[in-house]
Amino acid sequence: MALDELKSAIPDYAKDLRLNLGSVIGNSPLPAQQLWGTVLACAIASRSPKVLAELEPEAKANLSAEAYTAAKSAAAIMAMNNVFYRTRHLLSDPEYGNLRAGLRMNVIGNPGVEKTDFELWCLAVSAINGCGQCLDSHEQVLRKAGVERETIQEAVKVASVLQAVGVTIDAEERLSA
């Protein structure tokens, strides 16, 4: 199992990550599509080749073709949006907020899966990429759609653990090279 491979690559000094990885994926209360879409989108967003290589096949096996594509789309569109909207937020000149973005984001309106699933994946990627404006926007959409805070937090837990696992494993590979 790829999850076991990934867990075995985590060094002993980060054993909490190993435990958390098993928990957020193996014991997740999220429905399978929400979980594996979150896993795939966050594995991509983590920028860790090892995390993506180990988790992508299992995500693909647990997602429909449409959900698999939508999770990749969430990672792609948020890679752009998180930079753009985080920059707007961080600039001290509020006039940038009045300018037209002029960026295509059609997939957000028509992701090919349930809107709440796609929004959850976008929120999780935004957590990894650190965009407060996108986090707020996607959280508000999810809450208005009736998604519980606990569900949102589960997706953020997946994001935080996958990011930490990727950083740790990639650092160990570089340090041992």
The catalytic residue positions are 131, 134
Integer angstrom CA distances of residue 18 from 35, 83, 151: 18, 30, 22
C-alpha angle 168-173-177 in degrees, rounded to nearest 5: 150
Q: 164 with 13: CB under 8 angstroms?
A: no
The rounded Cα 126 to chain-centroid distance in angstroms is 7
In residues, how long is the chain? 177
